[in-house]
Amino acid sequence: MTDHTDVRQAVEDDVAELVRLRALLFENLGGDFFNPSSAGDDWRDALAAVLREKLIADDAQILVVDGENGLAACGIGTVEQWFPGPHSRNGRIGHVIGVVTDPSCRRRGHSRAIMRGLLGWFRERGAVRVDLYASHEGEPLYRELGFFDHPDPALCWRP
């Protein structure tokens, strides 16, 4: 692992590389839920459009680390305004929307540096909680950074 990793905000010129890295994330997660056989490739165009919007949005932060031949790693964070309650005084909930490192650039501290940058951004935005879904490989890093099991079971529904 390197002692220093330069993390920067993504720019529009990074969009193609961000799409490439996000595709790697879904390949690694596997299974029909994350990579359904019926998906096709049109999701990549939709992702590129949303990335371009979120690059300038106040509710998202997209951080990257440059590699020798493109991006080495990326991570995305968002903050949503939920309804406040006793467990969430302002209702601002952060979400880590995937941190992924190119396989040729792993074990160099890129994900850790991106996560530290995202956690600082969540603090600046007043997030009272940050949620994420961890891969088996990423879970030790997230636990080291202070993440713990959520008290509620995660359920989902697809229309």
Q: Residue 147: how many CB atoms within 10 A of its CB?
A: 18
| 3-state SS, residue 54 | helix
Q: Which CATH number fits domain 8-144: 3.30.1950.10, 3.30.200.20, 3.40.50.1980, 3.40.630.30?
A: 3.40.630.30
pLDDT in tens, 110-152: 999 999 999 999 999 999 999 998 888 899 999 999 999 988 8
Which among 119, 26, 10 has a CA at the least distance from the CA of 71? 10
* List of E strands, the chain: 8-9, 60-67, 70-81, 92-101, 129-131
Bridge-based pairing of strands 8-9 and 60-67 is antiparallel
Which range has the worst mean pLDDT, 24-28, 41-45, 153-157? 24-28
Which among 132, 107, 139, 102 has a CA at the least distance from the CA of 118? 132
Which run of H or E residues covers position 53? helix 42-54
Q: Residue 17: how many CB atoms within 10 A of its CB?
A: 19
Instruction: Report the DSSP beta bridge partners of residue 101.
Output: 73
Q: What is the pLDDT of residue 158?
A: 77
How many CA atoms within 13 Å lie on the side-chain side of 103? 6
Distance CA 41, CA 44 (A): 6
* Cα separations in angstroms, 17 against 25, 51, 85, 150: 13, 11, 39, 32
Indicate the pTM of the whole model. Answer: 0.89
71 Cβ partners below 8 Å, 6+ apart? 14, 17, 18, 20, 21, 64, 65, 102
pLDDT in tens, 52-99: 999 999 999 999 999 999 999 999 999 999 999 998 999 999 999 989
Q: What is the pLDDT of residue 55?
A: 97
Given a cut of 70, whether residue 32 has pLDDT beyond it is: no
- pLDDT band, residue 29 (cuts 50/70/90): low
